[in-house]
Amino acid sequence: MPKTEVILIQNIVGLGGESDQVKVAAGYARNYLFPQGFAIPLTGANKRRIEALRQRRAEREAHEFNTMSELSKGISKLTCLIKVKTGEDGKMFGSITAGTIADELKHSFEIALDRKKIHLEHPIRTLGEHQVELRLHAEVVTSLKVKVESTTPLPPPTERSTDTRGREGRSGYRGDRTESEAAPKTEKRGKRAEETAPETKSEKPAKAEKAEKAGKGEKPSKAEKSK
Domain that holds residue 23: 3-69
Domain end among 28, 43, 69: 69
Domain end among 69, 85, 108: 69
Residue 170 lies in a domain: no
DSSP letters spanning the chain: --EEEEEESS-BTTTB-TT-EEEEEHHHIIIIIHHHTSEEE--HHHHTTHHHHHHHHHHHHHHHHHHHHHHHHHHTT-EEEEEE-B-TTS-BSS-B-HHHHHHHHHHHH-----GGGEE-SS-B-SSEEEEEEEEEETTEEEEEEEEEEE-SPPPPPPPPPHHHHHHHHHHHHHHH--HHHHHHHHHHHHHHHHHTPPPPTTHHHHHHHHHHHHHHTPPPPHHHHH-
**The domain that contains 32 carries what CATH number?**
3.40.5.10
Q: Does residue 13 sit in the same domain as residue 60?
A: yes
Q: Does residue 98 sit in the same domain as residue 129?
A: yes
The number of folded domains in the chain is 2
pLDDT bucket at 48, cuts 50 / 70 / 90:
confident
pTM equals 0.57
Residue 159 lies in a domain: no
pLDDT bucket at 214, cuts 50 / 70 / 90:
low
Instruction: Of 46-55, 82-91, 142-151, 203-212, give the lowest mean pLDDT range.
Output: 203-212
Residue 46 lies in a domain: yes
Residue 169 lies in a domain: no
Q: Does residue 60 sit in the same domain as residue 77?
A: no
Residue 177 lies in a domain: no
Residue 217 lies in a domain: no
